[in-house]
Amino acid sequence: MAPEVHVYSLSRLVHAPATEWVKMLDSLEEGKDYANRYYLPLREAVVSFCSQKGQGRDAIVSTMVRRAQALGGSRRQGIAMDNEAAFDIFEGCFYPRISKFHRDLLRDRQPGVRFEGVILVGTPHLLVTDEDERKRYVFLHAAKWKEDDLKAYLELLSVILEQRFQACADSIWCMNLRSGRDVRWRSGSRTRRKCAKAAHLYARLVQAMGGT
């Protein structure tokens, strides 16, 4: 059976030396859940805000801050501030460019897709129609990532869109919630080859280690 891997984890391996993979896999597995939860209150707030057509902002933001603080630890206030700052950028820079909200994809539980010997899992955050009346799959990019890691992530997300949603790569709307600007993205053969190689090596490594 092909091993399952999340798009986030595989994207971090695409540009990493294979000799460092085992060490990186351990740290990725430990940090993946935390990385996902850090901006989860933001993502949920954005979906609520869009589904309610921009109504109820104060209640939505209050809930977001409370959920962010509930993550606990010494950084609870910093996490809440980061989520709120990212939401403010979404509201000011991106929400006015959304003409229609279609679907929340945060709870999407469709099976993964096959890609070079692995089952690739992951999803965009929501589906909307933009100001040009195009359906767009939104990725809320709030964390600070290396450029190569982001490119690999978006390429792998393109694979998922092609197979699960029958959508092309340019339907991804990557919103940079730090700068307030679109991340211009176009799928490329070079990045796709690197992602394919990483997926193939990951499958071989899991098999060699006795995984399934």
* pLDDT for res 95: 98
Sequence-distant (≥ 6) Cβ neighbours of residue 110 within 8 angstroms: 123, 164
Banded pLDDT at 16 (limits 50, 70, 90): confident
CB atoms within 10 A of CB 55: 10
pLDDT in tens, 61-103: 999 999 999 987 667 889 999 999 999 999 999 999 999 999 9
Calculate what percentage of the chain has a pLDDT beyond 90.
70
Greatest C-alpha distance within the chain: 53
* pLDDT for res 92: 98
Tokens standing for 163? 């197979």
pLDDT in tens, 19-58: 777 677 766 665 566 678 899 999 999 999 999 999 999 9
